[in-house]
Structure 1
Amino acid sequence: MNRNVRLRLFAVAMGLVMVGLIAVGAPEVRDAIVNGETDAVLSNPGEYQLSEEGGVATRSVFPSVEVIDVNGATVDSAEFIGVPMVVNLWFAACPPCQREMPDFAAVHERVGDEVRFVGINPIDSASAMTDFADRMGVKYELYRDPLAELTDALGTLGFPYTVFVDADGVIVGDAGLLTEDELVGFINDYFDIEGGSDT
């Protein structure tokens, strides 16, 4: 790593510590990752909490933008609408994403017949995305967002980031890093899906 790269990394790290994620807009977050200026958008590594000013406003409509499926086909995200949906934004080098993805895979196995799970990745190549997801046991749909259009439209300030969308396409809630129990709780609360509970 040359001196200029080290200086950029140090500057980005100090900037995040000083101003926090609240002052960082979604496009800047995306650009920092794509340009290699940071390896994860975290104020404290492994501890991501969504800012009160971040994320898309609840009760807004899920955005209609183009994303790319694992086979390279373009899909309109509006086509996802029709059943309750969990949309998780992540990328492979993000430590909190690595922690929560097996939990998402486990919950999907339990409620996937009633709730649609969609993974959105704005960073990785198709092969990197699918290889990592396979290792995590993920069976749900995965899409790339290489221009970060959906990522930006959702007001993403950090990763992982999850939005909960009802069958009519209305965003009813959002969250940062989630455990399996927390994810189940949100699904039960937002969608009244009893299958999400072990009881």
Structure 2
Amino acid sequence: MAVHLQRTIVARTKKPTASVIFLHGSGDTGQGIRAWIKDVLNQDLIFQHIRIIYPTAPLRSYTPMKQSMSNVWFDRYKISINCPEHLESVDSMCHVLGSFVDEEVNAGVAKDRIILGGFSMGGTMAMHLAYRFHQQVAGVFALSSFLNKDSIVYQTKLPPLFAMCQLGLEMTQRERLPCSTQTHCLYLEKWMTVRDGRNCRCWRIRDNKV
């Protein structure tokens, strides 16, 4: 039976030329991660011609919560980097989320103009989706995420997709992502903002004609 996921979409145009699929962490929703980002930035993550898609994971029994129902992308035997991955649920969700990538391509967005990413469990999910099933995308990012020690992702011949690992990781001021031409690139830009009296390092995705 097909799984239909709810989604929240932020876009300024009906004909975007690039897309970002942003996956929330365990127990959250697409609307929830959008609200969190908006709270951090004091505005929506929005661009002139980039569509931001926030899917919501389905409710499923989650083993680390003693089989309680939760909005999670996949199951885990336990929350530990040293335990095996629950590949049955990971692979099943990769196929479901792959339909989002296909929908964007069918809507006219080139696959190498799509970025996959997420927060916590969403970042892990994005790495499986990009590296194992959709290596032609422009890039993948993961915020405060981890892959299990013996993850099947490490068995994949990895293209240069990875954009960032954890919040707080030191990176160069501007990190370019692979793009289809030399004159039109997606890149991540770091800037500082003041929040609650403290300097916070944040990231934004920019679409730049160089």
Same fold (TM over 0.5): no
Answer 1 or 2: higher relative contact order, Cα 8 Å, separation at least 6. 1
Higher helix share: 1
TM-score normalised per structure 1:
0.30
TM-score normalised per structure 2:
0.29
